[in-house]
Amino acid sequence: MNKQNEKIKKVYLSPNLEKENCLEYTKKACEILANNGCAVFADESLKDLFEGIVFGKTEELLPQCDIILVSGGDGTILKHAKKYSAYDKAILGLNCGRLGFMATLEHDELHLLKKLCDGSYRISERMLIQADVTSSGEKKTFTALNDIVFMKSEGCKIADFCVTKEDAVVSSLRADGLIFSTPTGATAYSLSAGGPLIEPEMQCIEFTQICPHSLFARTMIFTPDSSLNVTFSSKGSGKVILTVDGVDEMHITESDSVQISKAHGSVKLVDITGNSFHNSISKKLMTPMKGV
């Protein structure tokens, strides 16, 4: 079921203690790891909360560790995946939130942590996308693991969007906004806007419209080497907000240029439960429909 990998010996701990029960679950995880011969490291800011852990500065400890254990919700994993991407470490997500599609371990599955120590896990590699924004001659680049969203701002009644690929118009429509997502992000905002489910290890760019004023608007899937240009017109009624993984980054004007493409690098997620994506879909999306 699981691919045999190197045995994990050192784990870096990164909990979101604002999440309910996160401290309790994280302490249990540390105990299980220690009992299976795995050393746990954490930032010195946590030294008053945990025992039996090596504390120090993050930038000094992370390079020594094999993986990062992030306890929290999907938002926590999104934040840490990009924060620690420069270290090229795989992330194991312990779900302390609600849905937790990127967190491959639930709090009642903590006993499975012993699989890290014997190599019985697999690495799921996820692609990233980026938005290159050119505004007033300056270029800014934003990277997303989930999605890049164009949303009309307050005061903007509706916007006319145009998406082109190699100068060919692929979509021209009036809508509240646009969503460009990775396969990982297909279970997030795009799904709520009517987009399809996509296996997260696929390589593609998903494009979904938000409340389009059309009877025929549908999600489109582009190859990972696609470069998509986005423009809009609000007829002077307002600006558009660029949101990256749920965080408002900047306002876009009609004169700005925005290109969406696959980003360099990837995010690696540890899966120790086996087929965690399909299990999550069944348990967290299909169960309400089944009446279970």
Positions marked active-site: 74
Query: Where do the H-state alpha helices sit in 2-94?
Result: 22-35, 58-61, 74-83
Residue pair 272/190 in contact (Cβ under 8 Å)? The answer is no
Q: Which residue has the tokens 């059309």?
A: 214
Interacting residues of 151 by C-beta distance below 8 A, sequence separation 6+: 176, 177, 210, 240, 241, 243
How far apart CA 279 and CA 285 sit, in angstroms, is 10
Instruction: Characterise 267 by phi-psi region: left (phi > 0), alpha (psi -120 to 50), beta (else).
Output: beta
Report the SS3 class of residue 112. helix
Interacting residues of 162 by C-beta distance below 8 A, sequence separation 6+: 169, 171, 172, 230, 231, 232
